[in-house]
Amino acid sequence: MVGYNKNSNLSKLDFAIAGGASGFVTRAVCQPLDVLKIRFQLQVEPISEHSVSKYRSIFQAVGLILKEEGPKAFWKGHIPAQWLSVIYGVGQFWTYEVLSRQSAKLNVPNKYSPINNFLCGSVAGGVATIISFPFDVIRTRLVAQSEQKKIYRGVVEAGISITKKEGFLVLYRGLLPTVLQIGPHAGAQFMCYQIFNDLYIKLIKIQNTSLSSSLMAGSLAGLCAKTLIYPFDLTKKRMQVQGFEEGRKSFGQMFYCKGFKDCLINIYRLEGFAGYFKGLTPSLIKAVCTTALHFSSYEMICKLLEKSNF
């Protein structure tokens, strides 16, 4: 279902519904991994068992968060994250399906299909990012703050407070590294998904995309894409919490930067090259799970909508 299919009777509205629903399902299941990833990304000290850092490993971090903040902390920032996921899912899949339909009219040779999927996915990811980005900033702030010293009590309060104290444009802080990462990231996701899905279908000798082929292709696509763009994702998170030092006093050393370039320089100066890949392990686990779930749930919802249209 992902990409143009001349035999499909789905409308543009159906693609939007399926994209939003897949985003909702994926976020609900995978939110705890996102919380872990963000906590690791924002920590300046080394992530090592032999350091005095607050978070030293995945299992240690899980235990510490449970002890200090309780199980609810793993769904901290879940409401804005759901808004982010639903809006992003609608924008991404709707744009991709529209672009793939238009590109099909150009009769592009099959050998250029990976490039075509990459370009359509890149544009779709960019559109989805721009319309959903303020919820990403609010979500990051809510996840980043300490339970012992809460600055924001909810989504609306956070949005109003950020706008009043720091200005509306702060809701788009970190947009540059996000756009730089999301283009190749979304493009690589769609390209790799189609490649791995087609390969699975040929190897297993089945007629159409199945739940197993979608899960396998989505997992590998998420792994490849996330590794490619990870330093930009980490930089974005560091930029999004600038001006939020009061809410992070219990998390260790503060990180300061004045922009995208300054952020990259300061990460390398303070943490070395490895600093660009802080939190990569939970991020890859999350990427494998979320991408597999995102694509497979989208495929299944599209099939349900298609049956209901007959």
- pLDDT tens for residues 37-67? 888 888 888 877 767 788 888 888 899 999 9
The more confidently predicted of residues 273 and 253 is 273
**Rounded to an integer, what distance in angstroms lies between the CA atom of residue 233 and that of residue 241?**
13
pTM of the model: 0.73
Is 86's pLDDT higher than 60? yes
| pLDDT digit string, tens, across residues 10-26 | 888 888 999 999 999 98
What value does the mean pLDDT take over residues 246-267?
78
Residue appearing with tokens 């793993």 = 74
What value does the mean pLDDT take over residues 181-189?
87
Is 243's pLDDT higher than 80? no
How long, in residues, is the chain? 310
Is 147's pLDDT higher than 80? no
Worst-scoring range by mean pLDDT, 36-40, 171-175, 199-203, 207-211? 207-211
CATH (one of 1.50.40.10, 3.40.50.700, 1.10.287.3510, 1.10.3720.10) for 12-309: 1.50.40.10
**Rounded to an integer, what distance in angstroms lies between the CA atom of residue 10 and that of residue 307?**
10
Residue 310 makes CB contacts below 8 A (sequence gap 6+) with: 9
Residue 41 makes CB contacts below 8 A (sequence gap 6+) with: 233, 234, 237, 238, 278, 279, 283
Q: Are 8 and 257 in contact (CB under 8 A)?
A: no
The more confidently predicted of residues 187 and 181 is 187
Residue-averaged pLDDT of the chain: 84
Residue 88 makes CB contacts below 8 A (sequence gap 6+) with: 23, 128, 129, 131, 132
What value does the mean pLDDT take over residues 244-266?
77
What value does the mean pLDDT take over residues 106-115?
82
Per-residue pLDDT, 247: 60
